[in-house]
Chains A and B, each alone.
Chain A
Amino acid sequence: MHLTKEEEKTLNGEYGETLQKAIEILMALGNIFGADSLIPIKSAQIAGVSYKTIGDAGLEWISDLSGKVKVPAILNPAGMDLKRWQDMGVSPKFAKKQHEIIKAYEKLGVDTKCTCTPYYLEGFTARYGDHLAWSESSAVSYANSVIGARTNREGGPSALSAALIGKTANYGYHLDENRKPTVSVTVECELSGSNYGALGYLAGMSVGNRVPLFFLKNEPCGDELKALGAAMAASGAVALYHVDNVTPEARKTVFEPPDENIVIEESQIKEVYENRKDAMSCENEIIALGCPHCSSDELAHIARLLKGKTIEKEMWVCTSREVASSYPHLVSTIEKSGAMVVCDTCMVVSPASENYKLMMVDSGKALTYVPSMCRLEAKFGSIEDCIKEAGDSNKD
């Protein structure tokens, strides 16, 4: 790898141990994946925030670092709502450790907003062609595919290293040749809403870590693309996809159609809604929306559906604190129904999910991770299905 004089100095420890280790990490990854150099990045999004996932080991490492990040850097969801953790049923012991993790990042100059949708936030609205070092798989997919920015799926330590150095290694999705589609996916029915999460859940399993080019019958909106990408990154390892005539790179470039074509039929999409019949009802059930974190449009849609209702089951609506505080009237309408607007965290990374036996979700990503990471049953439905499931005691 070619290093500039400044980078050499950093590697030789002239700017302290934290930066020396940080550049070593970037170089090691660059060497493993064949990068020629380091490239400047616009922003970083750092995974490894929930105490549930990184534990004492991660907390110790972050606490031992010193210095300040050089580019805007933001965090992935934490293990709890940082203010209302008690309302979620999180233990004080967990909360103490979670706050220590957040403080350790804050000391390094990291913006301690915790979200998987940094692209909705001021300072993190990436643009076409921007190089980024983002971690969270759905955010990586959205940045690469929907925005046309360029990022690999960074691990926690490598994203933090990139933020401290202001650069990342130039390999993978930073390079044109790795952004071409390698498999086609043709969908034979019209789709809307949560169907895109179901499609992603199915497609991810066959696509694996390749770059799919979708041929769809209708044009999805940003939130639908978000759901598609999030599900594919969870059930597969898709970090970049294109939708013919829709996503920015597919509009600008005429791609060679890949040889392999996967066909997805309406009956397969329907099956995603119908599976796990054994888990169809249970007393200890929660409904959890907002995976990835709700946009303002999604929050408005949920508020419209919940207006005037008094729900009978517990319900979380997960979003970023920024979006929630920009739309207090929507939050108030949702919470009047009995649902809780949960910020800074989600159903996948919070230990509070383990207090339940069954979770209904409208997200293909949550459908993949809730059973494996939280060890409870999950079932899938549209936002409308989920709200119907929550009941309404005003109607009884």
Chain B
Amino acid sequence: MIQIKIKCRIISRGIAEGNVILTHDTISFLGNVDPKSGVIVDEGHELFGKSIKDKVLVFPHGKGSTVGSYVLYQLSKNGVAPSAMINIDSDPIVAVGAIISGIPLVDKLEVNPFDFLKDGDMVKIDSINGYVEFLSK
């Protein structure tokens, strides 16, 4: 199998693997996500009812209240945070939240993640050396 490694920008450092969960919707961690379960609770959201726990969460960028940063921290303390996150363009709220929670976060991939990733794909985020590696379907 051909090894696929895609370069990216490092926002929050770390290395993690997991199954992809992908949404085209932006996320306001305050309000959209239940900090106790890691389930998306906003009925209008594409991921409504789904859990982001231990997933590689792929979304365009964050929005909403700056308290969202602390909600990421709570998710992580409760053991229900994503294992890593990929953005198109990271915003300060998600970036700060990822760093304080120790969740690897990258953005600006050389290839648009929405063009080559699907729900369930296994990927590795290396946010120390700056690449995303496709492991298996």
Contact = CB atoms under 8 A, between A and B. Distances in A.
Interface of A: 21, 24-25, 28-29, 31-32, 47-48, 53-58, 60-61, 155-158
Nearest to B91: A32
Nearest to A62: B70
B11 A60 contact: no
B114 to A, nearest CB: 20
B71 interface: yes
**Counting chain A CB atoms within 10 Å of each CB, which of B35, B73, B100 scores highest?**
B100
B67 A54 contact: yes
B71 A57 contact: yes
A31 B89 CA distance: 11
A173 to B, nearest CB: 15
18 contacts: A24-B12, A24-B13, A25-B100, A28-B11, A28-B96, A29-B95, A29-B96, A32-B11, A32-B89, A32-B90, A32-B95, A57-B73, A58-B67, A60-B74, A61-B70, A61-B73, A155-B69, A157-B70
Contacts of B69: 155-157
Contacts of B90: 28, 32
Contacts of A158: 92, 96
Q: Is the interface of A mostly helix, strand, loop or mixed?
A: helix
Closest 8 CB pairs of A and B: A57-B70, A57-B74, A58-B70, A28-B95, A155-B66, A61-B73, A157-B96, A24-B99
Contacts of A47: 66
Interface of B: 9-13, 35, 66-67, 69-71, 73-74, 77, 89-93, 95-96, 99-100
A329 B47 CA distance: 59
Contacts of B71: 57
A337 B71 CA distance: 43
B135 to A, nearest CB: 26
A130 B90 CA distance: 29
Given A28-B96, A55-B70, 20 more contacts: A24-B13, A25-B96, A25-B99, A25-B100, A28-B11, A28-B90, A29-B92, A32-B89, A32-B90, A32-B91, A48-B67, A55-B67, A57-B70, A58-B70, A60-B77, A61-B100, A155-B66, A155-B96, A157-B70, A158-B92
Given A55-B70, A57-B73, A155-B93, A31 B9 contact: yes
Nearest to A155: B66
A265 B88 CA distance: 43
Contacts of A32: 11, 89-92, 95
A155 B92 contact: yes
A298 B77 CA distance: 45
A155 B70 CA distance: 11
A60 B99 CA distance: 15
Contacts of A57: 35, 67, 70-71, 73-74
Given A25-B96, A28-B99, A156 B66 contact: yes
A158 B12 CA distance: 14
A21 B74 contact: no
Contacts of B66: 47-48, 155-156
Contact of B11 (A31, A53, A156): A31
A53 B99 contact: no
Given A25-B99, A32-B91, A155-B69, A56 B11 contact: no
B23 to A, nearest CB: 21
Contacts of A31: 9-11
A230 B21 CA distance: 41
B130 to A, nearest CB: 12
A112 to B, nearest CB: 19
Nearest to B97: A157
B55 to A, nearest CB: 20
A64 to B, nearest CB: 9
Contacts of B13: 24
A67 to B, nearest CB: 14
A190 B63 CA distance: 39
Nearest to B107: A32
